[in-house]
Chain A
Amino acid sequence: MSPSHPVEPLFKRLHSLDVLSAEEEQAILDAAEGSTRFSASDDIVKEGDRPTRSALLSRGFAARYRLVEGGKRQITAIHVAGDFVDLHGFLLKEMDHSVAALGPCEIVAVPHRNLKRITERFPHLTRLLWLLTLIDGSIHREWLVGMGRLPAPAQAAHLICEIDLRLALVGLSRDHAFRFPATQTDLADTLGLSVVHVNRILQELRAEGLLRWQQQAVDILDFPRLAELAEFDARYLHLNSDPR
């Protein structure tokens, strides 16, 4: 398998959690279909859909979102390469939210019938996929805490710390520098804040020498100070490898 195989980021993600056997890797390769590219803001799955395939994000970023009255959007999760974006749809059947490309991205489709076969034949791999959805849940909890209890600048700083560490797991952030195509509107919709306020917060983080953010390139200049401002504790990301 070449290092550029679209499933490679998922392997990296799973390897960060536990040891993956060659048979388990092969089972994922056998389950995956071809990849599809999406442009920024394209919907990958829509609320109300009953997908028959789950999307595995092989490149770029995706966002889960809900639209509320007046067309306002709340992004409820950001996914990075290696995330099994809508593993949820496999069992939930009907989508209760949409998933869109956050910048250009590439998706590998995994038919639900193939996922079912994995759950029937590979109990350890099944637990790892289950674990991925549990970690999605712990990230939701952390965001809820941030939106409910953190001042807005801390909430923004928290998101930036999180994206950095999640990208590092799949080798896409080095020395706290990474590519992130989210616009200020995307950030505002993620943080539940106005774009004007988000702009003010980013200017403050820049002015304090905590980060640089130019043309989709984020460079965290002082991770410890940014994490302190954010009250960031990475425990909820479950970054450790353990037998599962």
Chain B
Amino acid sequence: MARYFFDIRDRDGFFADEAGLDLPDMDAAVAEARRALGEMVKDALRDGHEETIEILIRDGSDGPILLSISMASRDLKQAAEGGP
């Protein structure tokens, strides 16, 4: 087991993880981060937010690894007409 820290950046700002979480390895840490991203995306989509959510996983030796997901909508008709 090693302690992994998950810092989050989203539309509300930067949330540094000071507690950390004990997990068997970096694969487990990435799996945990993916799960968290999924939950946060769900709420962001429901609330109509267009944003990028990032989770930076850090520990003493491996990584850091950055997971990132962006949500955006585009009006394709306007884009085809050369609109903004």
B47 touches A196 (CB 8 A): no
Given A151-B46, A200-B8, A193 and B15 contact (CB-CB distance below 8 Å)? no
Chain A contact residue count (CB 8 A cutoff): 13
Q: Which of A153, A184, A193, A196 contacts B8 (CB 8 A)?
A: A196
A69 CB to closest chain B CB (Å) equals: 15
CA A219 – CA B47 in complex, angstroms? 28
Query: Which chain A residues border B43 with CB–CB below 8 Å?
Result: 151-153
Residues in A191-212 with C-beta less than 8 Å from chain B: 193-197, 199-200, 203-204
Residues in B4-35 with C-beta less than 8 Å from chain A: 6, 8, 12, 15, 17, 19, 21, 32-33, 35
Per-position contact with A for B30-64: 1 when CB-CB < 8 Å, else 0?
00110110011011001100000001000000000
Q: Which has the most chain B C-beta neighbours within 10 Å: A153, A193, A196, A197?
A: A196
Residues in A145-174 with C-beta less than 8 Å from chain B: 151-153
Q: Which of A184, A193, A203, A204 contacts B39 (CB 8 A)?
A: A193
CA A142 – CA B6 in complex, angstroms? 31
B47 touches A151 (CB 8 A): yes
Residues in A70-106 with C-beta less than 8 Å from chain B: none
Query: Which chain B residues border A151 with CB–CB below 8 Å?
Result: 43, 46-47
* Subset of 25 A-B contacts with CB under 8 Å: A151-B43, A151-B46, A151-B47, A152-B39, A152-B40, A152-B42, A152-B43, A153-B43, A184-B21, A193-B39, A194-B32, A194-B36, A194-B39, A196-B6, A196-B17, A196-B33, A196-B55, A197-B35, A197-B39, A197-B40, A199-B15, A199-B19, A200-B15, A200-B36, A203-B15
Per-position contact with B for A200-239: 1 when CB-CB < 8 Å, else 0?
1001100000000000000000000000000000000000
CA A196 – CA B32 in complex, angstroms? 7
- Interface footprint category on B: 10 to 19
Query: Which chain A residues border B15 with CB–CB below 8 Å?
Result: 199-200, 203-204
Query: Which chain A residues border B46 with CB–CB below 8 Å?
Result: 151
A91 CB to closest chain B CB (Å) equals: 37
CA A153 – CA B79 in complex, angstroms? 36
B56 CB to closest chain A CB (Å) equals: 11
Residues in A96-127 with C-beta less than 8 Å from chain B: none
B17 touches A199 (CB 8 A): yes
CA A194 – CA B8 in complex, angstroms? 13
Q: Which has the most chain B C-beta neighbours within 10 Å: A151, A153, A199?
A: A199
CA A82 – CA B83 in complex, angstroms? 65
Given A151-B43, A151-B46, A196 and B12 contact (CB-CB distance below 8 Å)? no
CA A199 – CA B5 in complex, angstroms? 11
Given A151-B43, A197-B36, A200-B36, A184 and B12 contact (CB-CB distance below 8 Å)? no
18 additional contacts, CB 8 Å, given A193-B39, A196-B21, A196-B36?
A151-B43, A151-B47, A152-B40, A152-B42, A153-B43, A194-B32, A194-B39, A195-B32, A196-B8, A196-B35, A196-B55, A197-B39, A197-B40, A199-B6, A199-B15, A200-B15, A204-B12, A204-B15
